[in-house]
Structure 1
Amino acid sequence: MAKTALQMTREEWKKYRPHARIKKTSLISSSSTPHSRDEALKVAKQAAELLRQRFKAKKVVVFGSTATSIGFSEFSDIDLAAWGIPVDQYYRAVAAVNGLCSRFKVDLIDPESCLESLKKTILEQGVVI
């Protein structure tokens, strides 16, 4: 006979709460696992080169945890802002940079059409690559 939720043990509950097994301190410092952030920066540089060559980007900036290493974790993505990509090529550019590496998701931002607060963050904290 099946058990109700009130009858289940803590161990039985764990299979219904997979997120509970994830360590709460999942942040990775840049000194403990430099290869992860180094790999992200390498992919960011490849993406910047691709955006300049295939999509005529005039300037590419990496920002967020990949640029600063603050808060970088095994779950981090790569945040890029690119100036000069034609509007009709934007989604092709997004697909192209996301196809470079399955390990990292790449968020590509058009700084000319994003929120001013995000643009300010990009300009203040971003690194041109």
Structure 2
Amino acid sequence: MAPDSQKWKEYRIRAHQQRKLWLAHHRSKGLKVAQSVADFLKREYGVTRVMLFGSMVLGNIREESDIDLAVWGLPQRQYFKAWAAVNDIRRDFPVDLIDINDASEILLEHIENGWEL
């Protein structure tokens, strides 16, 4: 292997390791944000249950990953207000807020494999 090829290989290995570390940190931060959003929704909107699902649970996050939350007990008339409040407060992670009553059967399967917050 030529010296330049070896340096390139070492660079790629280091870059891959740094990316893995960054994504692990990003996920850890996302999990904390998800918990704070769940607490906010329970306190401010009377939500009775919150489930985190999707890439944050599965661990296959990317830079652009959002936080997927399913909620129980959110009055329908409050949905858009709650969604806007959450996404206004937490601009570092977009939040996809799913009212459990509007979830499809396929989505319900993913939600059931999530984590309760």
One fold, TM greater than 0.5? yes
Unaligned runs of 5+ in 2: 1-15
What is the SS of the residue equivalent to 1:112? helix
Q: Indicate the RMSD between aligned Cα atoms, in angstroms.
A: 1.4
**Aligned 1:86-101 pairs, distance under 5 A:** 86-101=75-90
Mapped to 1, the partners of 2:44 and 2:96 lie a distance apart of: 18
**Which structure 1 segments of 5+ residues have no match?**
1-24
Deviation at 1:116, TM superposition (A): 1.2
Counterpart in the other structure of 2:99: 110
CA displacement at 1:101 relative to structure 2: 2.0
Instruction: Name segments (4+ residues, structure 1) moved above 6 Å.
Output: none
Matched, 1:42 2:26: no
Aligned residues: 99
More helix by share: 2
**Which of the pair has more CA radius of gyration?**
1
Output aligned runs, 1:1-129, within 5 Å. 29=20, 32-33=21-22, 34-69=24-59, 71-123=60-112, 125-129=113-117
SS in 1 for 2:101: coil
Per-residue deviation at 1:92?
Answer: 0.7
TM-score if structure 2 supplies the norm length?
Answer: 0.79
Percent of residue pairs bearing the same amino acid type: 39
TM-score normalised by L of structure 1: 0.72
